[in-house]
Structure 1
Amino acid sequence: MPSPTRLTSPSRGEEPAALATGIIGGPVGRFAAIGRRGWTYAAAMLSALASVLVALGVLQKNHCVREGWGSPGALWHACYSDLPVGSGGPKGGTPWSSGGAGNTQPVLTAILDWIVKQLTPGGSALGTQQVYFAIGTVIIALLIALTTIATASMLRSTPWLAAHVALSPVLITAALVSFDVLGVALATVGMALWARRHPAAAGVCLGAAVMARTNPLVLLGAITLIALRDGTRGPLARCLTGAAAAIVVCFGVAYAWGGDPLAPYRGWWHQAAGYGSPGYLLTAAHHPLPATSLSIIAVLGWVVAFLLGVYLTGRPVERTQLAPLALTMLVIVLLTGKSMSVQSCLWVLPLMALAALRWREHLLWAGAEIVYFVMTWMYIAGPSNTAKALPAAAYSFFLLIRLIAYVGIAWASWETSQDLERDPATPADR
């Protein structure tokens, strides 16, 4: 058996991991039998530890849990969440009823919001919000566990790399802001099924993920480019067919339910620059771009991402791997989008794990992400108390630092992914 490395045993090869293991006994021992219990043991342990991060997220939002999610208190305490907003309005109806999430959210996210709403008993406004948030928290914890397990299943000889999903500090701040993790989980399961050579099922999961958020289209694009390069057109056709079928079924369910599944996308076209996007820098400087111009830039961002993907997969010098390719394409799409919410960070976690990013780079990125998280709420809450507000110039500074951090992890993924080729503990079929 090869000696432990940072891929098989991060606490032996990375100082941040070694320091973190101090609370549970320290780094793995010199004569430890690495990998004897299999990847499922690591997946189970990491899934359990991820629930601790979610619990810390509840603690971080303690003020809102006790007092409610109303403004400006939820903003000043940085505990705002979209989840309790879904508890408002009458029960019953459909996700596309008046005020339903289907008017602003993709199909599966809207349906999940509606289901949780039906499970939430009536009562006072605060009590209803608290129960809705509690149910949503349990669902999110389970989805993060599923994402962790799916990631570890793609890293069977190096499963502890899935800690990039389960133990990322950004889970504390961002995981409970919305149901974004539904799309993350479905997309990660789809990638895992593709890696285990189940293309049709992979396509179904990735198509369903697109019906929760649009970001998984980037993963489908990266998989397509890699498959075309490798000549695996048969499996690719089954994957794309499965994805198309899932999307058609979701749209069909929405239309049969009397909804309009295209409403969120039409609304997006007319949307102004949102928090976190480079376009918002001009808004903060009182020179906002028209919504149509921002939409065109966002579409061009997708085009640039795919053209770069074509170039990177076509290089004869080096065999491009899926994780750094998908991460780079995703970062381009995020940075050229009309908004980049505080929970956007959740989408990159599985790809960081698959690219074997070092914890040093992860923690630097997470630090920028968490600082930006706090500053965002201080800036948004500004109108309620200008004396305490974060100035627009300061917010723009932290926004730029965050954007640079995303470029940094995309760049680092190309360097660190080379460890998978050089490391003797990495399986050949990875």
Structure 2
Amino acid sequence: MTWVHPTRDDRVVAAVSEAVGGPVGEHAGRHRWWTPTRVLLLLTAIVFVLGMVQKAPCSLADGKDQPWVYSHMCYTDLRPLYVPRGLAELAWPYSDDDQTRARYEVMEYPVGISYWAYGTAWITQQLNGRPDLEARSDRPVNDLYGDEDVDRELTIFLLVNAVGFGALALLSVWLLSRVDPQRPWDAAAFALSPTLLLTGLINWDLIAVALVAGALWSWSRDRPVLTGVLIGLGTAAKLYPLFLLGGLLVICLRQRRYGAFGLATVWAAVTWAVVNLPAYLSGSDEWKTFWSFNADRGADLGSIWLIVDQVRSSGVHVDTINQWSWIFFAAWCVGVLVVGLLAGRRTGSVPRLAQLGFLIVAGFLLVNKVYSPQYVLWLLPLAVLARPRWRDQLIWQAGEVFYFCTVWWYLGGYLHPAGGGDVGFYWVGIVVRIACELYLVAIVVRDMFWPQHDPTNERPELGDDDPVERGRREPHPHVDRVPHGRHVRTTR
């Protein structure tokens, strides 16, 4: 197998490589064991361990107040939710038991995350010696916060989840590196992402991220059923993987592959329903909490709506935000549909799923009423394949890192003006983030209309292979079949 060498394909990587001797030569040898995928897995592991180190102060330091947590930017949702959502007693997230509901709030997350949290809580308590849960249920909930066993479980719970998240990050990179066999190094922008390091442990978003990476891989292998199953599983963990069906719709309309779209859609719906069924049957009202929570939620962190809400003296009513955010998103989706149907027609190329998926998810985040710092992970697997160029990835992620800093300073009260008033510098963080994201959106749209700018359509300089073996090798089906209308130049 031949692949694109990043030092000969990307100007930023080529410039950085000068520190170690410059781009790889035409006759450079290849290590038998250190394949691109294995190197990427190692890099991902290193970055994720650094992410754990970055979050360690908030997990290991005792007696620190909330502003200290924000000043060190090591906040994670996992610890604060362990007791108040009943995980310390292994209360089923969707139990309709009156005593359980009187003691604990319902998990406000989709069922995929709730199942994961419940499972990791069970593992945590097995590792902590199987505590007496009946004794805990007889105590007031407030007493559990000071319990030594519970405190120890909080740390174990975070570590168990971190191990699981690390496995999901490795799986994501493995899948992304195989979407295009000629370009495994495109996944390096995911593996070395500063946003993965900073936000990977904030919440459970990596569950959906790995499933989206799987959907991109399965579609590249022309497996619509598996693609639908993975999209359904992803939607059961977070809503946004559902939007990949919009990208599939555009591709299938362009290629008249209506059956493939139908299969993917049906299997996505069936999978989502099957995963949600246990939660709904055990507590339908509790299952509805996720939907009611998001419907009732007002303008929140990171959203452009938060700026509008704070600028207006009377604020913005939640119903108004709900209505207009969906109107704007619907208009954005229509725009993506038009772009997807028109782009590349003169060259005969069809936009890729990563490009279309990135545009749709980016539009959802830009007009949504909440844009939490970890939501950048939603875009990450799509962005690194939609525009596999380090310059553009760094510009976009620089905006995300800048916002990551401002949001914690804002929550910690460090950005409030001495004389009072609105926190204008936090608004700057939101605007910079949006501007950098719109920059990447514009670049991706340009690549779609003028495919000669798309790195995946350029004639690559490939890694060295034995010339005799290269002549004997059968064409790789993914490259020569050009799945889904993708304009790929072969090296033969």
TM over 0.5: yes
For structure 1, which segment, 353-362 or 100-109, has the greater mean C-alpha deviation from structure 2 after superposition?
100-109
What does the per-residue CA deviation read over 1:357-395, in whole Å, with 9 as the maximum and x for residues that have no partner?
311111122111111111101111118997699961010
Q: 1:30 to 1:65 in 2, by over 3 A?
A: same
In the other structure, the counterpart of 1:280 is 306
In the other structure, the counterpart of 1:420 is 456
CA–CA distance in structure 2, aligned partners of residues 389 and 370 of structure 1: 26
Number of matched pairs: 424
Query: Of 320, 332, 337, which residue of structure 1 is paired with 2:351?
Result: 320
Query: Of 337, 344, 349, which residue of structure 2 is paired with 1:310?
Result: 337
Within 5 A, what are the aligned runs for 1:400-419? 400-415=431-446, 418-419=454-455
What does the per-residue CA deviation read over 1:280-336, in whole Å, with 9 as the maximum and x for residues that have no partner?
102333542111111112212331232112211221446333222221121111100
Q: Secondary structure of the residue that 1:176 maps to in structure 2?
A: coil
CA–CA distance in structure 1, aligned partners of residues 429 and 5 of structure 2: 34
What does the per-residue CA deviation read over 1:22-54, in whole Å, with 9 as the maximum and x for residues that have no partner?
78x55552135588979x932222122111111
Q: Which amino acid aligns with 1:73?
A: W
Q: Secondary structure of the residue that 1:157 maps to in structure 2?
A: coil
Q: 1:257 to 1:388 in 2, by over 3 A?
A: farther
Tell me whether 1:75 sits opposite 2:70 in the alignment. yes
* Contact 2:416 2:423 (8 Å CA) reproduced: no
Unaligned runs of 5+ in 2: 96-100, 129-147, 448-452, 463-478, 487-492
In the other structure, the counterpart of 2:52 is 58
In the other structure, the counterpart of 2:364 is 333
In the other structure, the counterpart of 2:122 is 118
Tell me whether 1:11 sits opposite 2:11 in the alignment. no
Q: 1:30 to 1:200 in 2, by over 3 A?
A: same
For structure 1, which segment, 364-373 or 269-278, has the greater mean C-alpha deviation from structure 2 after superposition?
364-373
Q: 1:22 to 1:225 in 2, by over 3 A?
A: same
Q: 1:383 to 1:356 in 2, by over 3 A?
A: closer
CA–CA distance in structure 1, aligned partners of residues 114 and 265 of structure 2: 24
* Contact 1:365 1:406 (8 Å CA) reproduced: yes
CA–CA distance in structure 1, aligned partners of residues 15 and 267 of structure 2: 44
CA–CA distance in structure 2, aligned partners of residues 313 and 227 of structure 1: 11
Q: Which amino acid aligns with 2:297?
A: Q
* Contact 1:157 1:425 (8 Å CA) reproduced: no
* Contact 2:70 2:408 (8 Å CA) reproduced: yes
Tell me whether 1:149 sits opposite 2:174 in the alignment. yes
Structure 1 residue 338 displacement after superposition: 0.9
CA–CA distance in structure 1, aligned partners of residues 174 and 165 of structure 2: 14
What does the per-residue CA deviation read over 1:95-153, in whole Å, with 9 as the maximum and x for residues that have no partner?
22447786310010111111111111354444222111111111111101111111111
What does the per-residue CA deviation read over 1:211-248, in whole Å, with 9 as the maximum and x for residues that have no partner?
11111121111112211221111121111111011111
Query: Of 187, 205, 227, which residue of structure 1 is paired with 2:212?
Result: 187
Q: 1:216 to 1:390 in 2, by over 3 A?
A: farther
Query: Of 355, 359, 363, which residue of structure 1 is paired with 2:394?
Result: 363
Unaligned runs of 5+ in 1: none
Q: Secondary structure of the residue that 2:177 maps to in structure 1?
A: helix
Q: Which amino acid aligns with 1:217?
A: L
Q: 1:127 to 1:308 in 2, by over 3 A?
A: same
* Contact 1:323 1:354 (8 Å CA) reproduced: yes
TM (normalized to structure 2)? 0.79
Structure 1 residue 272 displacement after superposition: 0.5
CA–CA distance in structure 2, aligned partners of residues 118 and 70 of structure 1: 28
Pairwise CA RMSD: 2.9
Tell me whether 1:159 sits opposite 2:154 in the alignment. no
Q: 1:125 to 1:32 in 2, by over 3 A?
A: farther
What does the per-residue CA deviation read over 1:335-365, in whole Å, with 9 as the maximum and x for residues that have no partner?
0001111011112221222223311111122
CA–CA distance in structure 1, aligned partners of residues 237 and 419 of structure 2: 36
In the other structure, the counterpart of 2:296 is 270
Question: Could you say which structure has the larger radius of gyration?
Answer: 2
Structure 1 residue 205 displacement after superposition: 0.7
CA–CA distance in structure 2, aligned partners of residues 424 and 14 of structure 1: 10
Q: Which amino acid aligns with 1:186?
A: L
For structure 1, which segment, 358-367 or 386-395, has the greater mean C-alpha deviation from structure 2 after superposition?
386-395
For structure 1, which segment, 103-112 or 321-330, has the greater mean C-alpha deviation from structure 2 after superposition?
321-330
Query: Of 340, 344, 348, which residue of structure 1 is paired with 2:375?
Result: 344
Q: 1:27 to 1:239 in 2, by over 3 A?
A: farther
Identical counterparts, % of pairs:
23
Q: Which amino acid aligns with 1:411?
A: A
CA–CA distance in structure 2, aligned partners of residues 28 and 135 of structure 1: 40
What does the per-residue CA deviation read over 1:64-110, in whole Å, with 9 as the maximum and x for residues that have no partner?
02226852221121111011123224322212244778631001011
Tell me whether 1:219 sits opposite 2:244 in the alignment. yes
Q: Which amino acid aligns with 1:296?
A: Q
Tell me whether 1:248 sits opposite 2:273 in the alignment. yes
CA–CA distance in structure 2, aligned partners of residues 37 and 305 of structure 1: 47
TM (normalized to structure 1)? 0.90
CA–CA distance in structure 1, aligned partners of residues 249 and 461 of structure 2: 28
Q: Which amino acid aligns with 1:220?
A: L
CA–CA distance in structure 2, aligned partners of residues 300 and 26 of structure 1: 53
CA–CA distance in structure 1, aligned partners of residues 159 and 303 of structure 2: 30
* Contact 1:120 1:131 (8 Å CA) reproduced: yes
Structure 1 residue 256 displacement after superposition: 2.8
Q: 1:19 to 1:63 in 2, by over 3 A?
A: farther
In the other structure, the counterpart of 1:105 is 109
Q: 1:28 to 1:66 in 2, by over 3 A?
A: same
CA–CA distance in structure 1, aligned partners of residues 6 and 104 of structure 2: 45
CA–CA distance in structure 2, aligned partners of residues 75 and 235 of structure 1: 47
For structure 1, which segment, 240-249 or 28-37, has the greater mean C-alpha deviation from structure 2 after superposition?
28-37
* Contact 1:324 1:410 (8 Å CA) reproduced: no
CA–CA distance in structure 2, aligned partners of residues 61 and 388 of structure 1: 33
Q: 1:286 to 1:378 in 2, by over 3 A?
A: farther
CA–CA distance in structure 2, aligned partners of residues 364 and 342 of structure 1: 17
